[in-house]
């Protein structure tokens, strides 16, 4: 089996056509490949309610590129 440089990658969602050789390689790496329509359908079948949030709950993390230092996230 081939080795992945992205060991945490589990699923790829495709938009449009995908090269058959690439598809085979992803499947060899046990990476799930979904079409956009499959992805949308899966979401419709697995609807979860929004969690209860409060004014002090962060909703967005913005990641910096690290151009002036190490990359980091800001709330």
Q: Per-residue confidence at 2, pLDDT binned at 50, 70, 90? A: low
Give CA torsion, residues 50, 55, 58, 59, to 10 deg. Answer: 40
Q: What is the pLDDT of residues 9-64, one digit of tens each?
A: 999 999 988 899 999 999 999 999 999 999 999 999 999 998 888 888 877 888 88
Domain ranges of the chain: 11-74
Q: What is the pLDDT of residues 50-72, one digit of tens each?
A: 888 888 887 788 888 878 888 88
Taking the mean position of all CA atoms in its chain, how far away is CA 9?
A: 8
Residues 2 and 28: beta-carbon distance below 8 Å = yes
């Amino acid at each position: 089996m081939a080795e992945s440089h992205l060991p945490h990658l589990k699923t790829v969602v495709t938009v449009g056509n995908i090269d058959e050789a690439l598809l085979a390689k992803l499947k060899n790496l046990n990476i799930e490949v979904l079409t956009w329509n499959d992805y949308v359908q899966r979401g419709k079948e697995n609807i979860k309610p929004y969690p209860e949030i409060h004014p002090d709950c962060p909703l967005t993390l913005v990641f910096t590129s690290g151009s002036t230092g190490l990359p980091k996230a800001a709330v």
